[in-house]
Structure 1
Amino acid sequence: MSTAPGTRFRASCTSCRTVAELGAEAFRLALGRTRERTFYSFTCPSCGTAVRKPAGERIVAALTGAGVRTMQLHLGQ
């Protein structure tokens, strides 16, 4: 899946339930060794809550395609 830079994503806050459209600069993507440890995060523009949600393959592809900053999580062996 290829996503053009400048793409906006709809994201919902788990605290206040607001749904906002956010650009790639608002997200962070953490890639873990397993699906359970891979997630994206953003700060809700309405209430300021730090939101963290699991990221499956399609979400990872869309966010990386849009240029979201990504970090690789390395845990002990």
Structure 2
Amino acid sequence: MTVFRVGCPHCGGRAHLESGEVRLARTRSRTFYAFTCPDCGEPVRKPAGERIVELLTGNGVAEIGLAPR
């Protein structure tokens, strides 16, 4: 399983998460990845460009469906 290094904008914590702990979501206007910070428990959403999307999907991160915005 792939491990990703992520940072939390809420508490400043840094963590290593497995691909099953990160989700990828798309709307018509944007793509982002999301996870729950293991340090503070806050949900985190960050924008994901094409390179990040390729990296995440190529390493087992699931894409969740959202209603169009």
The question of a shared fold, defined as TM-score above 0.5 by the shorter chain, is answered with yes
Counterpart of 2:45 in structure 1 is 52
Structure ID, larger Rg = 1
Greater share of residues in strand: 2
Please, what is the CA RMSD of the aligned residues? 1.4
Q: How many residues align?
A: 69
Identity percentage over the alignment? 54
Structure 2 segments unaligned to the other structure (5+ residues):
none
Runs of 4+ in 1 over 6 A off after TM superposition: none
Q: CA deviation at 1:33?
A: 2.5
Structure 1 segments unaligned to the other structure (5+ residues):
1-5
Deviation per residue, 1:21-74 (Å, 9 max, x gap)? 11101111002233xx11000000000000000000111001101111102445
